[in-house]
């Protein structure tokens, strides 16, 4: 009996010590979380870069930037709130999703879901403060049991303008126009989403351009038990290796909208070597008006299946960066939009350590009406072999000044733009 009491007493003491340690760890975690919120510039948890790409004082401004955050585990998405202070002349503006970068922080894994999504956007005006473009971004990279830390980086292009100079308005801006569907495996690897917008105040004579805002892919729930510890449960979702992930927004031109109900099509691919049932969501916004133009380009999607007979097995797995130029655009202002992209492993399906594609270093020359940008891409597992293929398309949103400009009594003051994070 004495031995039993001694063992029982020792067990109670151990449980108390463990509880104290857990409490101390929880307090430390709370302190760390508070520190992250107080000092978001900590490079371990938060990093951002942004710059003005082009500005015509008093009329138009375009900014580009990127911001990253880390998520310890799922199933919640990583969320960022980004704010851009605009010059005082801006009374309309919005943001374009122009790229994404998702990376597991520890080794490579299979994939359950992938997401990069600007969920809300609003230009806040009024009061004594300058206009502020505020938008919320969500990203996700997860496998079966949501227990792996990852980093999510978003690449965006924000622009604002004075509606006295540019006849354009943004529709579906705050929540975006969200379309979703379940792609059954028997329907094939290419999913087609048809979007329709019947709200807002677009005129029948307005030219309309669709602005890409985001995507979300997720395999449908299906029991799949993997050999691991702890063992899988009945309600664990399925994950798979990745062969190809792709997105293409189809716009042939900024044609007028006679029926007042603009519609467009988005196609996607999310697959391993086979074809599996999965959910797709796509988000967009609209800009319409007499000043709105479009230089359209779209990416036809070609599914990759099975194992290729010829492939490069040398180590690749590094970020590739190329420079692209578009000449002789008949626009006063030009905003590039990443409306098509395709990432796929060259030989076979693989685990994922990092995947992403984004445009950056945007330059617009109003004298030559030329646009230049760089495109970077990456798809790799833990050792970067085999190599990967990347394709993309950029459509250009054009904005022309009104034919009858407003009367300007005096020159606009030199506005200093402030860029800040939240």
Q: Is residue 198 part of a domain?
A: yes
Instruction: Count CB atoms within 10 A of the CB of residue 289.
Output: 23
Q: Is residue 262 part of a domain?
A: yes
In whole angstroms, give the CA distance from residue 325 to residue 327: 6
Q: Is residue 281 part of a domain?
A: yes
Q: How far apart are the first and last CA of the chain?
A: 62
Q: Which residues of the chain fall below pLDDT 50?
A: 1-45, 415-417, 419, 422
Q: What is the pLDDT of residue 417?
A: 47
- Prior bond of 418 cis (ω within 30°): no
Burial class (CB in 10 A: 0-12, 13-18, 19+), 150: buried
Burial class (CB in 10 A: 0-12, 13-18, 19+), 292: buried
Query: In degrees rounded to 5, what are phi and psi of residue 81?
Result: -110, 120
Nearest to 337 by CA among 358, 366, 319: 358
Helix (H) or strand (E) holding 6: helix 2-38
- Per the structure, the count of domains in the chain is 1
Bridge-partner residues for 151, per DSSP? Answer: 70, 103
Identify whether the C-beta of residue 171 lies closer than 8 Å to the C-beta of residue 288: yes
Q: What is the pLDDT of residue 407?
A: 59
Nearest to 247 by CA among 272, 266, 274: 266
Total residues belonging to the chain = 422
Q: What is the pTM of this model?
A: 0.82
Q: Is residue 99 part of a domain?
A: yes
In whole angstroms, give the CA distance from residue 286 to residue 199: 11
Q: What is the pLDDT of residue 174?
A: 95
In whole angstroms, give the CA distance from residue 257 to residue 245: 32
In whole angstroms, give the CA distance from residue 422 to residue 155: 16
188: left (phi over 0), alpha (psi -120 to 50) or beta: left
Q: What is the pLDDT of residue 164?
A: 96
Q: Is residue 9 part of a domain?
A: no
Helix (H, G, I), strand (E, B) or coil at 319: coil
Q: Is residue 20 part of a domain?
A: no
Torsion over CA: 38, 41, 44, 49 (sign): positive
Identify whether the C-beta of residue 296 lies closer than 8 Å to the C-beta of residue 209: no
Burial class (CB in 10 A: 0-12, 13-18, 19+), 26: exposed
- Prior bond of 162 cis (ω within 30°): no
Q: What is the pLDDT of residue 314?
A: 60
Identify whether the C-beta of residue 58 lies closer than 8 Å to the C-beta of residue 385: no
Query: In degrees rounded to 5, what are phi and psi of residue 209?
Result: -130, 140
| Structural domain span for residue 267 | 45-407
Q: What is the pLDDT of residue 222?
A: 65
- Prior bond of 57 cis (ω within 30°): no
Break the chain down into helix, strand, coil percent, rounded to 5. 10, 50, 40
Q: What is the pLDDT of residue 98?
A: 98
In whole angstroms, give the CA distance from residue 278 to residue 273: 14
Q: Which two tokens stand for residue 341?
A: 């992209």
Q: What is the pLDDT of residue 88?
A: 96
Listed in order, strand segments (DSSP E) in 290-387 are 292-295, 320-326, 333-345, 354-365, 370-380
Q: Is residue 416 part of a domain?
A: no
Q: Is residue 224 part of a domain?
A: yes
Identify whether the C-beta of residue 24 lies closer than 8 Å to the C-beta of residue 47: no
In whole angstroms, give the CA distance from residue 337 to residue 389: 21
């Amino acid at each position: 009996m004495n031995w039993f009491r001694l063992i029982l007493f020792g067990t109670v003491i151990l449980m108390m010590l463990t509880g104290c340690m857990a409490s101390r760890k929880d307090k430390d975690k709370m302190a760390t979380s508070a520190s992250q919120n107080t000092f978001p510039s900590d490079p371990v948890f938060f990093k951002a870069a942004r710059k003005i790409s082009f500005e015509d004082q008093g009329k138009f401004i375009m900014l580009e930037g990127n911001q990253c955050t880390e998520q310890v585990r799922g199933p919640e998405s990583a969320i960022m709130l980004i704010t851009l202070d605009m010059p005082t002349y801006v009374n309309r503006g919005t943001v374009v999703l122009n790229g994404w970068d998702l990376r597991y922080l520890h080794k490579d894994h299979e994939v359950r879901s992938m997401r990069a999504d600007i969920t809300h956007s609003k230009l806040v005006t009024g009061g004594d403060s300058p206009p502020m473009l505020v938008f919320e971004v969500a990203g996700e990279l997860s496998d079966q049991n949501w227990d792996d830390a990852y980093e999510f980086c978003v690449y965006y292009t924000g622009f604002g303008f004075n509606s006295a100079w540019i006849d354009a308005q943004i529709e579906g801006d705050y929540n975006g126009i969200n379309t979703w569907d379940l792609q059954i495996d028997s329907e094939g690897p290419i999913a087609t989403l048809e979007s329709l917008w019947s709200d807002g105040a677009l005129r029948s004579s307005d030219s309309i351009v669709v602005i890409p805002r985001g995507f979300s892919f997720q395999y449908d729930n299906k029991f799949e038990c993997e050999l691991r510890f702890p063992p899988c449960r009945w309600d664990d979702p399925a994950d798979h290796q990745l062969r190809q992930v792709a997105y293409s927004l189809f716009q042939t031109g900024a044609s007028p909208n006679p029926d007042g109900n603009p519609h467009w099509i988005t196609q996607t691919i999310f697959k391993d070597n086979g074809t599996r049932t999965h959910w797709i969501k796509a988000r967009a916004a609209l800009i319409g008006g007499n000043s709105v133009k479009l230089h359209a380009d779209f990416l036809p999607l070609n599914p990759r299946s099975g194992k290729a007979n010829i492939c490069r097995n040398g180590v690749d797995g590094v970020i590739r960066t190329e420079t692209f130029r578009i000449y002789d655009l008949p626009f006063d202002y030009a905003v590039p939009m990443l409306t098509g992209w395709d990432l796929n492993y060259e030989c076979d399906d693989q685990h994922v350590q990092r995947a992403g594609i984004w445009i950056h270093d945007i330059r617009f020359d109003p004298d030559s009406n030329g646009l230049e940008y760089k495109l970077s891409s990456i798809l790799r597992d833990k050792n970067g072999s085999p190599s990967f293929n990347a394709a993309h398309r950029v459509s250009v949103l054009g904005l022309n000044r009104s034919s009858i400009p407003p009367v300007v009594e005096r020159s606009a003051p030199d506005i200093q733009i402030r860029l800040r994070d939240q």
